[in-house]
Structure 1
Amino acid sequence: MESLANLESFVRSAESGSFSAAARQLGLTPAAVSRNVGQLEQRLGVRLFHRSTRRLELTEAGERFLSSVDGPLRALRASMADIGPQGDAGGGVLKVSMARAFGLAHVLPLLPEFRAQWPRLQPQWHFEDRAVDLVAEGLDVAIGPGLELGSGVVTRTLAPAHLVAVVAPAYMAGRAAPNLPSRLAALDGIVLRPPAGGRVRHWSMRQADGSAQQALLSETLVFDDPTAVREACLLGLGVALLPLADVLLPLRRGALVRLLPQWWADAGTIAVAHAADAPQGGKARAFVDFLVERFTAESLARRLDASAP
């Protein structure tokens, strides 16, 4: 009978494309993962990977073996988690990735209540503005827009991802408020360029009657971090199109005002995702259920709907 460690090392390496990434997920060294896979290959008498300095690639035999063991191994993980000491989310590490501004404003404040319910869980939370691969990166839960959803991942919608035009009140002193998205171009614009490069994205805004219009902000200030865009906006440096989720609190306290209150841009949804084989009552499922329940109780989806009155 092949050891579970060897099979886990193989499957994680195949999913992530490297021994190093698999090692991070399993809490081992890359050398240990490589040794486990080597022992498995020796036992089977075939090569499972084409190895290179850049990435692992499955051989034909490796692809066949992965398809035969992946499902049973997922089921075994779920069964072990369900019956073990963490099956009731009693303890362990909870690895969560979430969009930075959204997580700080809407998820982190829920941590005291969650910790009171699950005191033995250790949160390891990553606040990062990038698309993550839940399975390949060994995460329990991912939250935000733009999730890379592969097979075996379940998502639940938390709220719409609507962008709104916001500005500091001081900036608008002595200026006429625009009445159409196209007229935002007359103001100083603060825009986001993706960290990996590429063009600034300009959005089409729409309103409840279905009409739409391009919002071509001037590129007065260009940043590669959405939190920096918001902070520059708070400093009164110009107008920005930002997720309502990221500016809800500054809007409520009057640090920002919303221009064109009948218009918004639709960027999809804010979702929470976990692996499909997370056991009922396990740590990932417990956190997701808690999060959805709190968002429902606080009507956050309605408050983040820019089309709502």
Structure 2
Amino acid sequence: METLANLESFVRSAEAGSFSAAARRLSLTPAAVSRNVAMLEGHLGVRLFQRSTRKLTLTEAGERFLHAIKGNLEELQAAIADIAADDGEPAGVLKVSMSPTFGIQYIVPLLPAFLERYPRIRVDWHFENRQVDLIAEGYDAAIGGGIELSPGVVSRVLAPAHIIAVASPAYMKGRTRPADPEGLADFDGIVMRSARTGRVRQWVMRNVAGEEMPARPAETIVLNDPAAMCRAAVLGLGVTLIAVPDALSYLESGALVRLVPRWYADAGPISLYCANRTLMPSKTRVFIDYVVDAFRREHLAERFAGSLGT
């Protein structure tokens, strides 16, 4: 009977393509992971990996074996995690990825009440503007937009990510407000450079009637962080196109005003991502339920909708 350690070392090595990467995820040494895999191969009597100095490649037998056991291994791990607490209370490390601006503004404030309800959960949250590989990097969940739904990952939509045009009242003082998105070209722009592509983001805005129009303010200031873009707009440096969640507190306080309010761009949904498991660990399940309930309670989906024209 194979040990769980041998099987897990094999699966994580296959996912990561190296013993070293699997070792980091499993908190083992590369030698220990390699030894576990070698023991598994010895017991099975087949070679599961083709080894080279650069990477591991699954053999045909390794591919078949991975397909056969992977789902069962994850369900077994989930069952162990779920039953680990004697009283069944959700417990363990909750590793979540989210963008800094959104996470700090909307998810961190949920922590006090969440931890009071689930004191045996330990939070390990990563604030990063990148697409993570939930399974290979060992995340329980991620919150954001545009994460690729790789095999084994599912998503639950929380709210829309609508892009709107904003500026400070001081900047707009004495200026005629634009009648449509094309009019934004006459203003100083605070624009975003994509960290992934290195290019300045271009937006096409639409209205509720379905009409579309490019929105291209001048590239006066180029930044790569939404919090910095909002702050620059508040300081009166120009017009910026920003997601509603990033600008909402400034709009509600009056520090920013919305321009061309009947127009918005759609950047896709803000979603909660997690591994698709039949037996989801209770720590992950209660976190997902808690976040979904908070979004519903605070009416965040409605408040984030730039299509409402407010």
Q: What's the TM-score bracket when you normalise by the shorter of the two chains?
A: over 0.9
* Residues 63 and 261 of structure 1: CA distance in aligned 2, closer, same or farther (over 3 Å): same
Q: Aligned residue for 2:120?
A: 120
| % identical aligned pairs | 56
Q: 1:117 deviation in Å?
A: 0.5
Q: 1:54 deviation in Å?
A: 4.4
Q: Once superposed, what is the RMSD of the aligned Cα atoms?
A: 1.9
Q: 1:52 deviation in Å?
A: 4.1
Q: Aligned residue for 1:290?
A: 290
Q: 1:86 deviation in Å?
A: 8.1
Q: Is 2:181 the counterpart of 1:181?
A: yes
Secondary structure of 1:122's aligned partner: strand
Q: TM-score, normalised by structure 2?
A: 0.93
Amino acid of the structure 2 residue aligned with 1:137: E
Residue ranges of structure 2 left out of the alignment (5+ in a row): none
* Residues 278 and 111 of structure 1: CA distance in aligned 2, closer, same or farther (over 3 Å): farther
Q: 1:106 deviation in Å?
A: 0.8
Secondary structure of 1:295's aligned partner: helix
Q: Aligned residue for 2:18?
A: 18
Q: 1:207 deviation in Å?
A: 0.9
Q: Aligned residue for 2:157?
A: 157
Amino acid of the structure 2 residue aligned with 1:142: A
* Residues 265 and 243 of structure 1: CA distance in aligned 2, closer, same or farther (over 3 Å): same
Residue ranges of structure 1 left out of the alignment (5+ in a row): none
Please say if residues 181 and 215 of structure 1, whose CA atoms lie closer than 8 Å, have aligned partners that are also in contact: yes
CA distance in 2, matches of 1:152, 1:92: 22
Deviations 1:73-116 (A, max 9, x none): 12222322333218945321110001111111111111111011
CA distance in 2, matches of 1:241, 1:185: 12
Q: 1:21 deviation in Å?
A: 3.0
* Residues 78 and 86 of structure 1: CA distance in aligned 2, closer, same or farther (over 3 Å): farther
Q: Aligned residue for 2:96?
A: 96
CA distance in 2, matches of 1:63, 1:241: 46
Deviations 1:206-227 (A, max 9, x none): 1111111011222112223333
CA distance in 1, matches of 2:42, 2:104: 48
Deviations 1:250-278 (A, max 9, x none): 11111211111111100110011222226
CA distance in 1, matches of 2:64, 2:23: 23
* Residues 136 and 241 of structure 1: CA distance in aligned 2, closer, same or farther (over 3 Å): same
Query: 1:206-217 alignment to 2 at 5 Å?
Result: 206-217=206-217
Q: Is 2:129 the counterpart of 1:129?
A: yes
Q: TM-score, normalised by structure 1?
A: 0.93
Q: Aligned residue for 1:8?
A: 8
* Residues 293 and 35 of structure 1: CA distance in aligned 2, closer, same or farther (over 3 Å): same
Number of aligned residue pairs: 309
